[in-house]
Amino acid sequence: MIQIDIQKKLHGSQGKMDLIVNQSVNRGEFVVLMGESGAGKTTLLRVLAGLEEAKGSIFVGNTEWQNNHKRVSPQQRNIGFVFQDYALFDNMSVEENLFFVNNDKALLNELLVMTELVALRRRNVQGLSGGQKQRVALCRAIMQKPKLLLMDEPFSALDSKMRKRLRTQLKDFHQRFDMTTVMVSHDASEMYALADRVWRMEQGKIIQEGTAHEVLSSQDEKAHYVEVLKLHNAKATVCIAGELLEVEVNNKISVGEEIKVVLQPCLYSNNK
């Protein structure tokens, strides 16, 4: 279990604020952190990684990562971190970036196949697109087989097909390596597909936590979906198996009401 009890003064989107977090994360849990820009999400990840100082304490099991007098270095925390700016070594190729972390060739090949980067393995990362760099950064974080995986919007630069594929693979690696994961995201489908718990942050504080359904069906979110329903007139957004789908509904249905969606098998034929 990770026990977090920290405080730090910040300049947020609305001026000065205090980052105050007193939370725990169970071993093997996948937590998604959501909130507006400037709420303190990235700073919390950086404090967990040991990249920024804060008052208070962080315990991982029986090991104290920090208190008000000492702080364990990032290198000693066995953390994988996917940064928003990728933080790759620009003088290295794709595979050199991964081998810098771990010499496990089998895992490297598996990750390159998973992220469709095999053909680019020897290319310098400076010549990659933003989405390709983001995939390399994700691979490098997993190469470490970290105790704690921290990710700051790791799928933001990817197309929907690749995003869906990597979500599935990430869940597999998360379970296979018994990782504990904290990820910043604003994508509802990612929360439903990945999160055991969602933390909602506002002005440096966790103001709500629960399952993806509990947090996303809060009053604020319901008001948002009222606008969507009015815009599309007779459609509602639902989540099935981690995917957001738009379905037709009765004009008289209200936001927040439970609706029944029946999935029917489709038979495909090559006959014309």
The predicted pLDDT at position 196 comes to 94
The number of beta carbons lying within 10 Å of the beta carbon of residue 137 is 25
Cα 197–Cα 159–Cα 137 angle in degrees, nearest 5: 70
The predicted pLDDT at position 258 comes to 59
The predicted pLDDT at position 224 comes to 42
**Quick one: 262 exposed, middle or buried, by C-beta within 10 A (0-12, 13-18, 19+)?**
exposed
Q: Report d(CA 107, CA 122) in Å as an integer.
A: 16
Q: Report d(CA 248, CA 236) in Å as an integer.
A: 6
Question: Residue ranges of the alpha helices (H) in 18-144?
Answer: 41-49, 94-99, 105-114, 130-143
> Which residue ranges form the domains of the chain, and what is each CATH number?
2-215 (3.40.50.300), 217-272 (no CATH)
The predicted pLDDT at position 83 comes to 85
**CA quadruple 6, 9, 10, 15: dihedral positive or negative?**
positive
Segments of the chain scoring below 50 in pLDDT: 219, 221-233, 269, 272
Question: Which residues are CB-contacts of 70 (< 8 A; sequence separation ≥ 6)?
Answer: none
Q: Report d(CA 18, CA 218) in Å as an integer.
A: 24
Do 215 and 50 form a contact (C-beta atoms < 8 A)?
no
The predicted pLDDT at position 231 comes to 38
Do 144 and 78 form a contact (C-beta atoms < 8 A)?
yes
- Report CA-CA distances (Å) from 186 to 33, 204, 207, 235: 8, 16, 16, 22
- Output the pTM of the full model: 0.77
pLDDT tens-digit map of 107-143: 999 999 989 999 999 999 999 998 899 899 999 999 9
